[in-house]
Structure formats: structure tokens, C-alpha cells
């Protein structure tokens, strides 16, 4: 199944590839090898675009004390940091990097009420850059779970990702592992957890959005 955020991109890609191959056939009618080569490259390129916007069905992992991964990807940061936008206190940061080949649907790590949301325009540093969490285009969302524990997470644009989409707003009730947004192409998600949280993942571990338990709180 393809995600709705990919409809315009896929349509534009099809139009572009159709026109490109038509022009090659018109200007180089005798070069069959060139036409076939571009057709093959076009098919490969289209498959890459289609797989990026895939949205497979999942069986979520649910639990009031569980924090599930907001995205598919690889854990690239686990460290204690000072969170200065909302909590103004130390938190455990867990960051998940999404390559262009991961599913890019973002999911709510916990169920509850959205207590804070803010969109920040910004730069497009590579997603693994230490300053990308505070200087790149990003959103910040805080959800308070049924046990009154607040979890903050950020969608962060990367060097290729220049459009962040979100479906949440302050005061909205959300379901755990439900879709909260989408980031186009390579990007990253940061999760900020209480210092007493039990971390259930390791550095470089591959995680699945809505299924892998990042922590227990």
C-alpha cells in the first residue's frame, strides 16, 4: 500500500519519465540501445520512488508504560542531554535515523493527549549531524500518556528531506502507534525520555515504527 503523501510525487515522476523517454525516442529513433537503457533506468527510478512511499500494515505493540519507536530506522544516539525547549531539564535522548530506503511514516510513541506542538523552520544539515536536532527544520510534539508521563519527540528534516508533514495538534487525543506524520526522504526522529526510563534498545539496533519498544516508563 502506498502512502497518500506520495500521490503528487509519484504522478510528477510518471509524467517526467514519460516525457523524457518520449523525447529520447523522438530525437534518437535509431539508437534502440539508448532508448532501452533509459526505459530500464526509468523503471528502476520509479521503483525507488514507490518503495519510499510504501505504507505497510503493521501489528502495533501497545502498553501504557511502553514507548514504541516513532519510525523505522537505526538507533544512532542514546545519551543524557539537557532538553531546553519544553522540559528545561535533563532527559535521555534516543535518536532513530531513517535512510531513504526506510518506511517514512512517523507514529505516536505513546497514547494520550498532545500537550505541546510546535513547528520550527530551519536548516537542512545531514540528519546525523549533532546540531540537526536544534537547527534543522523540525517539529516538536509532547504527548502525556495515561500514567501522566510526558514524552517529547521531534521530526527532524535531513539534507534531502525538505518537507515535514504532521497530523497532530495541541489538545488532541492520539492512539499509540497511530500515524502522526511523514518526512520525505532521509531524516531522523529524536525521543526524549525521563531519566528513570528503562531503555530497551542499543546503539545501531534496527527498529520498527510502532512495533519496537524503545523504553518503559
187 classed as catalytic: yes
Please work out, in degrees rounded to the nearest 5, the angle formed at the alpha carbon of residue 17 by the alpha carbons of 11 and 22: 130
Tell me the C-alpha distance between 187 and 13, whole Å.
21
Task: Enter the C-alpha cell of residue 86.
Answer: 519544553
Backbone angles phi, psi at 67, to 5 degrees: -115, 110
Q: Are residues 44 and 64 in contact, defined by beta-carbon separation less than 8 angstroms?
A: no
H-helix or E-strand containing 7? helix 7-27
β-pair type (150-157, 164-166): unpaired
Of 42, 69, 95, 187, which one is the catalytic site residue?
Answer: 187
- Give me the active site residues, please: 187
Amino acid at each position: 500500500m502506498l502512502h497518500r503523501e506520495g500521490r503528487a510525487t509519484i504522478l510528477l515522476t510518471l509524467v517526467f519519465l514519460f516525457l523524457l523517454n518520449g523525447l529520447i525516442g523522438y530525437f534518437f529513433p535509431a539508437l534502440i540501445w539508448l532508448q532501452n537503457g533509459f526505459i530500464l533506468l526509468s523503471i528502476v527510478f520509479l521503483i525507488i520512488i514507490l518503495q519510499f512511499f510504501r505504507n505497510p500494515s503493521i501489528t502495533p505493540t501497545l502498553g501504557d508504560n511502553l514507548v514504541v519507536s516513532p519510525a523505522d530506522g537505526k538507533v544512532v544516539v542514546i545519551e543524557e542531554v539537557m532538553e531546553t525547549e519544553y522540559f528545561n531539564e535533563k532527559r535521555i535522548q534516543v535518536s532513530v535515523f531513517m535512510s531513504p530506503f526506510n518506511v517514512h511514516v512517523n507514529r505516536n510513541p505513546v497514547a494520550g493527549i498532545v500537550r505541546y506542538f510546535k513547528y520550527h523552520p530551519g536548516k537542512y544539515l545531514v540528519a546525523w549531524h549533532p546540531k540537526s536536532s536544534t537547527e534543522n527544520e523540525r517539529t516538536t510534539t509532547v504527548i502525556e500518556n495515561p500514567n501522566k508521563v510526558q514524552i517529547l519527540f521531534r521530526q527532524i528534516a535531513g539534507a534531502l528531506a525538505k518537507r515535514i508533514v504532521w497530523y497532530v495538534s495541541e489538545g488532541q487525543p492520539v492512539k499509540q502507534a497511530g500515524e502522526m506524520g511523514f518526512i520525505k526522504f532521509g531524516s531522523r526522529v529524536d525521543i526524549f525520555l525521563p531519566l528513570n526510563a528503562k531503555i530497551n534498545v542499543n546503539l545501531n539496533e534496527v527498529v520498527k515504527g510502532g512495533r519496537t519498544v524503545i523504553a518503559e516508563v
